[in-house]
Amino acid sequence: EAQVTQNPRYLITVTGKKLTVTCSQNMNHEYMSWYRQDPGLGLRQIYYSMNVEVTDKGDVPEGYKVSRKEKRNFPLILESPSPNQTSLYFCASSPTPGQALGAQHFGDGTRLSIL
Amino acid sequence: DQQVKQNSPSLSVQEGRISILNCDYTNSMFDYFLWYKKYPAEGPTFLISISSIKDKNEDGRFTVFLNKSAKHLSLHIVPSQPGDSAVYFCAATTLNFNKFYFGSGTKLNVKP
């Protein structure tokens, strides 16, 4: 089954404790991206990766890092989480840019609570 | 400042009637517009898209209209069904298909 898998689905942690949210896709997609969803703000793009060699900032990259060492995986790293990063996070992927005309496949989300 | 806006947080429609969801954008560089549907505890799923060179795109019960001069797009669902009850997000991107901008979503409730 074609899917984007995020782990963990839920996490409660404390300020300053490094965490990683993993994202893996099995569709051989080139493009991957991370979003956060907050009430009243919709989805905002954190980072995206056009392919294994290209990664760039989205609209709200502060406090986040990403890594794209292989095509299928795109982990989101919070080196020193803070309470304002409490949010619902989504990973998404799509084929070669333009091929799907922007349509992305999304994971089911990771709810992070940072105390 | 949000470049894509959905000004109606919610919409309630009777089953069988038309649902019209609206979206406005500010950036004239946007070339593609997309609608996603999201159920609780799931990720958004792609619904329909439209290129800036078109003014209408239809897929079954779903039609998206684009008015470039007004920087406005709308999603029409006809006829509406209870299973259409979800949050709908509009999104926009340029021809680079790298950065995507989403609206805040409209929660549609279709009453049986």
The reported pLDDT for the residue numbered A44 is 97
**B11-52 pLDDT, tens per residue?**
999 999 999 999 999 999 999 999 999 999 999 999 999 999
> Which residues are CB-contacts of A57 (< 8 A; sequence separation ≥ 6)?
A47
Whether A102 sits inside 8 A of B100 (CB atoms) is yes
Contact yes or no for B97 and A56 at CB 8 A:
no
**Among residues 5-34 of chain A, which lie with CB inside 8 Å of chain B?**
31, 33
Which residues of B sit within 8 Å Cβ distance of A? 2, 4, 6, 32, 34, 36, 41-46, 49, 51, 89, 91, 93, 95-105
Distance CA B11, CA B105 (A): 11
DSSP letters spanning A88-101: EEEEEEESSTTTTT
Q: Nearest chain B Cα to A41, which residue?
A: B104
A56-103 residue pLDDT tens = 999 999 999 999 999 999 999 999 999 999 999 999 999 976 777 889
State how far the alpha carbon of A100 is from the alpha carbons of A2, A25, A51, B20, B38, in Å: 15, 16, 15, 25, 19
